[in-house]
Each structure stands twice: as structure tokens, then as C-alpha cells.
């Protein structure tokens, strides 16, 4: 099959980019010809047999909103020129102006725009206005993209519900959850001091901490209601209000801000509990990474992807803003070493059902079901150009 995958990145270090990286890798290994229409691609994919890279340069354009539109136009021009030589086109949300066979919904901007913690509701300044415009434009365009696609893949049940509520027919939606690297994220023994971690019970939080969407503020308030444990926070503290909030709440001696880190898998090996009460999330990769690392999880039901967790490995709170309920969950795990051990074992068992390989195979099954029938066998893959687009 001749497949065009359209996305901004095919890289291991980016959430959506990692999903597409794994899909591309699986398709190539299965013997398909794959065109990667993108701005960034990992070297191992670029060098793979049957991989053809179409680089779309958006450097120099102001703002991500404009860059996305430039990418959408250039990618559409390339796909339109070569559509007759392709069997299947897979895109991601609104990323191109052309119609797709498969469209993966990683995020629903229309749903995020209605969230009470959308940036515009919290910041009535130039940045907040830009975020409002960004969301409105993407909400409008993604609705068009999803409705014109033959199959829409939701990355979580939450995303599926959001798609249906915004007019995508239920019969065209299927759910394929994201995966996790079971080798990179695995239970391990680490030297805490070498990683800059404290002694004693450690709660770990990983996420963007410059805005309230990940809900670190409620977690800090919950920590104030408990007596045990240190909260280690992974996230860039530049312009973050939370170090000051921890000081204001009187818990700064029990909170360690680690900054941006690339060794999250090792940090998870040194933690006891993973806490992630996000107010809005489409499907959080970090939840799967935490359970693969053998960590009990405390999360909010508003976090997309929590349907993958079981009661044996997680505690889910109904209201992300309920600091008392969150504190009760933290206390329960702090006082129960045997409970944490059992939950850790259950977490690893759940994670094994969600490898990247299983996710990618599900996509290949979807390709088989909706791909175009083979065209004239005399048509050579060389007819489909593979070159940079400046």
C-alpha cells in the first residue's frame, strides 16, 4: 500500500510526533511505501527503505497559527498533485486543506475552548486573545477536517465523546489509545540522590506548569492538608506562579521543583506515587508512562485516558478542583505501603496492554479496512515525488 502520513513531526520526543513515528515505523516494517509529509523527521525514519520524506519548511513565519496555515497549504498542494498515486492519506486533526482517509483526533479545540480554564478566561491580555483566536480558528477548521474524513480515530473515550458532541457521526469514529515504550518506562531501582530527589515518600507530578490546565494549584492545596511526603514537580518554572504559591501556602519545604527534565523515566523509578489531576486532557501519555514505570496513579476523571486505568492501579477523583478528595487519596497511599506495592504490580500489568506496537498494529488494521484497492501494478512509487518544499 502507498501511504501518505501528514503531521508536523515524526520524532520520539514529542507526544503527537511519537504516535506518528510509531505508526510510520510499523507501516514500513509491514512493507508499505510511506511518504512522510512533515517539517521534522527522526534520522532512522529518514533513512529507512521505502520511506520518502517530503519536508515542508515553515521557518521564518510569525506565530504557530500562521506556521500551521502555511504547512496546511503546502501539504495540501503536494497531496493534491499525487493523490492518484496514493492508496491512503492519514492526517492529524486540521493539519492540511486536503481531504483524508484517516484522521487522528489528538485534541478537540472546540472542547478546549469551552473549558473554564481556557487561557482566555484566565488572561484577558494579548497572549490570552491570541490563544482565543488560535482555538477559534482551529475549532472551525478541525470540524471541517473531521467531517470530511472517512475514518476519525479518537485517542481516548473523552475525545470520542467530544467529537460526537461537535457533529462527527458516531459511525465514523473509532478509539485507538496511545501507547507507551515498555522498555524506556519500566520499574527500576535508581539512586535518588544522583537524580536530585529527596528521601522519604515522593509524589511525582510531570507537566506544563505555567498555566492552570494541569492543576498543580489544587495539588499544592491538597498537599497542605496532608502530613507526609514530598511533591517533586517536573516542568519549566519560567514564568510559573507555582513556586510562589507553594511559599504562600506554607508547603515550599515539601515541594521540590525540578525544572524541565529529559530523564523522566529515571525520575519515575525514584518516585512512590504519580499524581496528575489535570483539569483538561485529551489523552495523557504521561499516565501510561507512569503505570509502565510501576507507579500507583492519582488522577482526575477529567484527564483523558483515565479509562485505561483500573481501580487496582489508580485512584480517580471526580472533581479535579476538590483538594479535600485529592488529599484523602494522597493520605491513603502515604499510609499504605502494602497498598502501594499491590497497585504498582497492577499498574505494570495494565501498561503491558498498551505498547506502541499494539497501537501501531491497530492503525495498520484500519488502513487495511479503508485503504484504496491496489492501482495499476505498473505504476511505480517513484512517480510520487519526494523532495523538500520551501
Q: How far apart are alpha carbons 271 and 343 in whole angstroms?
A: 14
- Find, among 91, 111, 112, 116, the residue nearest to 101 by Cα: 91
Cβ neighbourhood burial of 13 (10 Å; 0-12, 13-18, 19+): exposed
For residue 337, give the C-alpha cell.
505501603
Q: Please state, in angstroms and rounded to a whole number, the distance separating the CA atoms of residues 228 and 226.
A: 6
CATH of domain 2-179+356-383: 3.40.50.2000
Distance, CA of 274 to CA of 136 (rounded, Å)? 33
Do residues 14 and 41 lie in contact, with contact meaning Cβ atoms separated by under 8 Å?
no
pLDDT of residue 52: 97
Sole residue written with cell 515498555: 182
* Residues constituting the chain: 390
Domain boundaries, given as residue ranges, for the chain: 2-179+356-383, 193-353
Q: Which residues in the chain show pLDDT less than 70?
A: 371-390
Angstrom distance (rounded) from CA 122 to CA 211:
9
Average pLDDT along the chain: 92
User: Which tens digit of pLDDT belongs to each residue from 263-287?
Assistant: 999 999 999 999 999 998 888 899 9
pLDDT in the model for residue 389: 59
Around 334, how many Cα atoms within 13 Å sit in the side-chain half-sphere? 20
Q: Are 294 and 187 in contact (CB under 8 A)?
A: yes
pLDDT at 37: 98
Q: Give the Cα separation of 222 and 156 in Å (integer).
A: 27
Convert 114-126 to b/e letters by CB count within 10 Å (16 or more is b).
beebbbbeeeeee
- In CATH terms, is domain 193-353 a member of 3.40.50.2000? yes
pLDDT digit string, tens, across residues 138-197? 999 999 999 999 999 999 999 999 999 999 999 999 999 999 999 999 999 999 999 999
Question: Would you say the CATH fold of 193-353 matches that of 2-179+356-383?
Answer: yes
The predicted model scores a pTM of 0.89
Name 381's Cβ contacts closer than 8 Å, sequence gap at least 6: 2, 33, 50, 52, 85
Amino acid at each position: 500500500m502507498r501511504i501518505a502520513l501528514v503531521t508536523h513531526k515524526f520524532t520520539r520526543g514529542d507526544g503527537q510526533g511519537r504516535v506518528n513515528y510509531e505508526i510510520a515505523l510499523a507501516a514500513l516494517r509491514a512493507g508499505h511505501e510511506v511518504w512522510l509529509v512533515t517539517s521534522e523527521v527522526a534520522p532512522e525514519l529518514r533513512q529507512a527503505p521505502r520511506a520518502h520524506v517530503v519536508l515542508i519548511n515553515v521557518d521564518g513565519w510569525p506565530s504557530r497559527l500562521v506556521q500551521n496555515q502555511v504547512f496546511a497549504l503546502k501539504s495540501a498542494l503536494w497531496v493534491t498533485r499525487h493523490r492518484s498515486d496514493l492508496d491512503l492519506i492519514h492526517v492529524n486533526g486540521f493539519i492540511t486543506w486536503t481531504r483524508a482517509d484517516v484522521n487522528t483526533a489528538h485534541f478537540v479545540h472546540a472542547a478546549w475552548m469551552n473549558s473554564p480554564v481556557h487561557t482566555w478566561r484566565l488572561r484577558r491580555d494579548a497572549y490570552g486573545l491570541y490563544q482565543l483566536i488560535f482555538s477559534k480558528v482551529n475549532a472551525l477548521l478541525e470540524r471541517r477536517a473531521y467531517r470530511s474524513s472517512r475514518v476519525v480515530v479518537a485517542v481516548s473515550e473523552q475525545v470520542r465523546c467530544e467529537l460526537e458532541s461537535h457533529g462527527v457521526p458516531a459511525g465514523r469514529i473509532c478509539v485507538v489509545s496511545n501507547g507507551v515504550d515498555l522498555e524506556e518506562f519500566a520499574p527500576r531501582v535508581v539512586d535518588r540522590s544522583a537524580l536530585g530527589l529527596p528521601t522519604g515518600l515522593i509524589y511525582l507530578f510531570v507537566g506544563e506548569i505555567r498555566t492552570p490546565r494541569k492543576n498543580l494549584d489544587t495539588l499544592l492545596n491538597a498537599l497542605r492538608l496532608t502530613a507526609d511526603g514530598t511533591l517533586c514537580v517536573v516542568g519549566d518554572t519560567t514564568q510559573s506562579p507555582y513556586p510562589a504559591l507553594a511559599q504562600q501556602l506554607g508547603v515550599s519545604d515539601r515541594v521540590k521543583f525540578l525544572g524541565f527534565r529529559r530523564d523522566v523515566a529515571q525520575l519515575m523509578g525514584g518516585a512512590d506515587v504519580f499524581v496528575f489531576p489535570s483539569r483538561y486532557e485529551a489523552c495523557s501519555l504521561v499516565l501510561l508512562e507512569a503505570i509502565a514505570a510501576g507507579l500507583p496513579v492519582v488522577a482526575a476523571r477529567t484527564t483523558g485516558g483515565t479509562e485505561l486505568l483500573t481501580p487496582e492501579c489508580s485512584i480517580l477523583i471526580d472533581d479535579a478542583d476538590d483538594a479535600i478528595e485529592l488529599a484523602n487519596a494522597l493520605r491513603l497511599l502515604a499510609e499504605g505501603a502494602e497498598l502501594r506495592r499491590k497497585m504498582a504490580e497492577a499498574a505494570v500489568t495494565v501498561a503491558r496492554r498498551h505498547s506502541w506496537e499494539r497501537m501501531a498494529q491497530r492503525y495498520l488494521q484500519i488502513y487495511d479496512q479503508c485503504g484504496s484497492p491496489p492501482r495499476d501494478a505498473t505504476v511505480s512509487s517513484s512517480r510520487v515525488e519526494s523532495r523538500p518544499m520551501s
